[in-house]
Amino acid sequence: MKLALVISSMATGGAERVLSILANSWVQRGWDVTLITTHGSGEPSFFFLDPEVHQRSIVIAGSARGGMVANIRRVRALRTILRETAPDVVVSFLNYTNILTLLASKGLGCPVLVSERLDPRVHELSPLWNAMRRLLYPQARVLINQTEAAASWFRPWMKGRVVIIPNPVSEPDLAGPPALELPPGSVVAMGRLHHQKGFDTLLRATALLRERHPSIRLTILGEGPLRAELEKLREELELDDVVDMPGKIQNPATVLAQAEVFVLSSVTEGFPNVLCEAMAVGLPVVSTRCPSGPEEIVTDGREGRLVPVGDTESLAGALAEILADPESRRVMGEAAREVIDRFSLEVVLGKWDAVFKMIELGTEGLN
């Protein structure tokens, strides 16, 4: 099998992490895999890639959202690479890249799978890009979504060619010293410092939580454009001695394993990898019921608690409830570990294999 995998970049991020896992798994089968970045900078992938993965980078200034001339050049460069590599199947990740890939592959005769990684009900495109998506996506052989909630939006105009494939969850790597040491009784959150992650709500919830648990400590792993704003809010809430924001780290499992509970305060998600990573180390979780993903991963009261988006008091209350009950934490943590079996790499690869087989056989009605 010859595959061409297309994504904007291989910087840190959930989609990038998943694509690196898939690429490595497929080359280990002996498949010929080329990974193409449409907005390359020449920098190496943040995530490990097997040396057998062929990497091609299109280095053109400008973002996908703007710059028509730059995007035309990207489409032409991508088309050239696809002609050279002649893949059996093209797999594209992320909405803007999906649109460029469908344009670049038009008339080449290679089937294209496009994978949406965000919930389109929340992450709206501009009128132009949305029109292009509606026009071009039906030309894809299959649309891959991570959750039923997101897939339901696409089904009416994809004529049933929608498949749900979650992200893989692996056994955590706890070997070696931890990237940093956490104080006892810690709560951990992780993600890009961005409005989407709702860390402002989490900081306010932590201020409330400290009234009930004076010894509470929160560590937020990640980096992003809101660092200065969040640090200012931390100071205003007098949480400088409570909340640590050490940035992004490699192998966060070694840090997660030291915590008492993991919290996801997001406003929206696609399929929250960090939630699954925390559950894989046996942590009970508190998550918002954000669209989409958490409600398809966590059952309220079993692996943790689900609370409304933006509800500071509910978030603080759920954290206080779990922190106050060691036995509940233990039982929820054991249930959380089952995420490894539910979304194992073998299970996820099997779903991709089924899609490849359907394409080979020309099967329709993939949902």
In this structure, the chain runs to a length of 367
Query: Is residue 21's pLDDT more than 90?
Result: yes
Peptide bond into 186 cis (omega under 30): no
Calculated CA dihedral for residues 233, 238, 240, 243, nearest 10 degrees:
-70
Give yes or no for residue 184 having a pLDDT over 70. Answer: yes
pLDDT of 365 over the 60 cut: no
Return all residues near 293 (Cβ < 8 A) that are at least 6 apart. 119, 146, 147, 149, 269, 270, 271, 272, 275
Q: Is the predicted pLDDT of residue 364 greater than 80, yes or no?
A: no
Residue 274 CA, chain-centre distance (Å), reads 8
Token output for 30: 């002996």
Q: Is the pLDDT of residue 60 over 90?
A: no
pLDDT of residue 61 exceeding 90, the answer is no
For position 360, what pLDDT does the model report? 86
Place of tokens 């959150």: 189
Task: With a cut of 90, say whether residue 221 has pLDDT above it.
Answer: yes
**255-278: pLDDT as tens digits:** 999 999 999 999 999 889 999 999
CA 110 vs CA 2, 17, 277, 359: distances in Å = 11, 25, 35, 11
Q: What is the pLDDT of residues 78-110, one digit of tens each?
A: 999 999 999 999 999 999 999 999 999 999 999
> With the C-alpha atoms ordered 10, 14, 18, 21, is the resulting torsion angle positive or negative?
positive
Quote the CA–CA distance of 36 and 365 in Å, as a whole number: 29
pLDDT of residue 367: 43
Examine the pLDDT at 356 and tell me if it is beyond 90: yes
Sheet holding 285-288, edge to edge: 243-247, 217-221, 186-190, 261-264, 285-288, 304-307
Report pLDDT for 66: 57
- Spell out the domain ranges in the chain: 2-168+344-361, 186-342
Q: Which sign, positive or negative, has the C-alpha torsion 199, 203, 208, 211?
A: positive
- 226: pLDDT strictly greater than 60: yes
Q: Domain 186-342 is of which CATH architecture?
A: 3-Layer(aba) Sandwich (3.40)
Question: What CA dihedral angle connects 128, 134, 138 and 144, to 10 degrees?
Answer: 100
3-state secondary structure of 69: helix
2-168+344-361 and 186-342 agree in CATH topology? yes
pLDDT, one tens digit per residue, over 272-289 is 999 999 999 999 999 999
Q: Is the alpha carbon torsion for 321, 290, 266, 16 positive or negative?
A: positive
Per-residue pLDDT tens digits for 132-183? 999 999 999 999 999 998 899 899 888 889 999 999 998 998 988 898 999 9
Q: pTM for this one?
A: 0.86
What pLDDT score does 65 carry? 60
Q: What integer best gives the mean pLDDT of the chain?
A: 93
Sequence letter at residue 151 = A
Q: Output the CA torsion 345→346→349→350 (10° steps).
A: -150
* Strand 186-190 to 162-164 pairing: unpaired
Whether residue 40 is predicted with pLDDT greater than 70 in this model: the reply is yes
Across 166-200, b (16+ Cβ under 10 Å) vs e yields bbbbeebeeeeebeeebeeebbbbbbbbeebbbbb
* Neighbour count for residue 159 (Cβ, 10 Å): 12
Residue 288 DSSP one-character state: E
Mean pLDDT value of segment 27-33: 98
Mean pLDDT of the 18-35 span: 97
What fold is seen in the domain 2-168+344-361?
Rossmann fold (3.40.50)
- Given a cut of 90, whether residue 366 has pLDDT beyond it is no
Nearest in space to 88 (alpha carbons), one of 355, 360, 348? 360
Between 271 and 36, residue with greater pLDDT? 36
